[in-house]
């Protein structure tokens, strides 16, 4: 089989590699999936205004995130249970991101433990954190991430309850045999295998029973009190919330709709990004997550003020197709497309990107 030449082809070809229930989990969004469909279209609808007669003979895609230099401003977003796509799971993603000189953000809900993934490569990693009703579990996850060498905590704040994902419900989503939430195995009965039943989602039941729906802004302050790691708040769409996060000590904001999987018909990342960048006003870094499918999408996000972007579903498609090599190729496609887009718009460096690039 010929290698896919873009991320859309990866999506189409990966379907045959995934069990129907897993494909429903990876692909689905909330309710009518309006937000899910809108995410890539919102980037497409922005138009670029290129400049000409600029020396673009040596394009430089590198930037820094929280002081770490990365060669590609595309990071891998936290996605649960990567071993459902490929047996090598999150470790394969770690090796691929390291090879491309970027950062993996590992999910609390990973199918490999954070320690195992940390051993897979010396590349920089962030740990995504959900807050559990049992605060001791949350604190222990933070201590483990610190000990394993993770460079930041990415606190996800947009899941007080799981959005109703109808594809998951119809499929009776549950973790396949042999796959569980590896990070929680040490906490006894916290490590359910996400059992499911017809017309239910095992993940929704798990979230309702374990995650803390009473989460408020004081939890950011609490995290600040128990760790020296930088805190990135993920799942922000309102400028006022971004300001509160920064005032509470956050070092970064991820503008995200959670892949269209939480509240349907919310504002797109594309529209939410500029006012959040303006409100934060350089006091924290801002990242964009949602609907990135082309190098031009990355270019537009950076031009609107994002420090870097995160991709979720695309690297899962690559993982399903060819493990580590598939994830690496997905990142390479975005790298190559971004390189061409920067050259054709007369922007040879990430620092040269600005809002005047986008109409």
**Residue listed under structure tokens 């990567």:** 82
More confident residue, 310 or 162: 310
Q: How confident is the model at residue 197 (pLDDT cuts 50, 70, 90)?
A: low
Task: Give the span between the Cα atoms of 73 and 25, in whole angstroms.
Answer: 27
pLDDT cut 90: percent of the chain above it: 86
> Which residues have CB under 8 Å from 255's CB, separation 6+?
236, 237, 242, 269, 272, 273, 276, 286, 287, 288, 289, 290, 306
- Give the per-residue pLDDT at 149: 98
| Mean pLDDT of all residues belonging to the chain | 94
User: What is the rounded average pLDDT of the residues 177-182?
Assistant: 92
Closest CA relative to residue 319, chosen from 75, 79, 28, 93: 93
Task: Give the span between the Cα atoms of 335 and 253, in whole angstroms.
Answer: 23
End-to-end CA distance of the chain: 39
**Lowest model confidence (mean pLDDT) among 79-83, 136-140, 195-199, 219-223:** 195-199
86 is catalytic: no
pTM of the model: 0.95
pLDDT cut 70: percent of the chain above it: 95
What are the pLDDT digits (tens) for 35-83? 999 999 999 999 999 999 999 999 999 999 999 999 999 999 999 999 9
Selecting among 86, 174, 251, 258, the annotated active-site residue is: 258
**Lowest model confidence (mean pLDDT) among 106-110, 131-135, 153-157, 347-351:** 131-135
Closest CA relative to residue 255, chosen from 230, 231, 282, 274: 274
DSSP category for residue 253: E
Start-end of H helices in 217-294: 218-226, 239-247, 269-280
Domain at 7-347, CATH from 3.40.50.720, 3.20.20.70, 3.30.1280.10, 3.40.309.10:
3.20.20.70
**Lowest model confidence (mean pLDDT) among 170-179, 258-267, 340-349:** 170-179
Domain layout of the chain by residue ranges: 7-347
What are the pLDDT digits (tens) for 200-225? 566 767 776 788 888 899 988 999 99
User: What is the rounded average pLDDT of the residues 246-264?
Assistant: 97
């Amino acid at each position: 089989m010929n290698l896919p030449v873009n991320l859309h082809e990866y999506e189409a070809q990966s379907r045959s590699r995934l069990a129907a229930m897993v494909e429903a989990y990876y692909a689905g969004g909330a309710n009518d999936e309006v937000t899910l469909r809108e995410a890539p279209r919102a980037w497409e609808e922005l138009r670029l205004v290129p400049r000409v007669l600029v020396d673009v003979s040596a394009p430089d895609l590198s930037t820094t995130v929280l002081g770490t230099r990365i060669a590609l401003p595309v990071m891998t977003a936290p996605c649960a249970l990567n071993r459902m796509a490929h047996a090598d799971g999150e470790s394969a993603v770690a090796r691929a991101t390291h090879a491309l000189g970027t950062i993996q953000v590992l999910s609390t809900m990973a199918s490999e433990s954070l320690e195992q993934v940390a051993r897979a490569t010396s590349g920089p990693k962030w740990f995504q954190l959900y807050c559990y009703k049992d605060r001791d579990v949350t604190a222990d996850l933070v201590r483990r991430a610190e000990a394993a060498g993770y460079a930041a905590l990415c606190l996800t704040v947009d899941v007080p309850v799981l959005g109703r994902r109808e594809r998951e419900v119809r499929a009776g989503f549950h973790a396949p045999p042999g796959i569980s939430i590896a990070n929680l195995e040490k906490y006894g009965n916290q490590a359910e295998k996400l059992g499911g039943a017809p017309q239910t989602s095992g993940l929704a039941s798990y979230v309702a029973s374990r995650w803390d729906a009473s989460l408020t802004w004081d939890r950011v302050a609490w995290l600040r009190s128990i760790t020296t790691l930088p805190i990135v708040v993920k799942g922000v769409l309102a400028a006022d919330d971004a300001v509160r996060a920064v005032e509470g000590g956050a070092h970064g904001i991820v503008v995200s709709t959670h892949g269209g999987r939480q509240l349907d018909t919310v504002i797109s990342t594309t529209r939410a990004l500029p006012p959040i960048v303006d409100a934060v006003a350089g006091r924290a870094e801002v990242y964009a997550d949602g609907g990135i499918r082309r190098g031009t999408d990355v270019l537009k996000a950076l031009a609107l003020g994002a420090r870097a972007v995160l991709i979720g579903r695309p690297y899962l498609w690559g993982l399903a197709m060819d493990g580590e090599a598939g994830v690496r190729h997905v990142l390479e496609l975005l790298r190559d497309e971004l390189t061409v887009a920067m050259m054709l718009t007369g922007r040879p460096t990430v620092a040269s990107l600005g809002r005047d690039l986008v109409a």
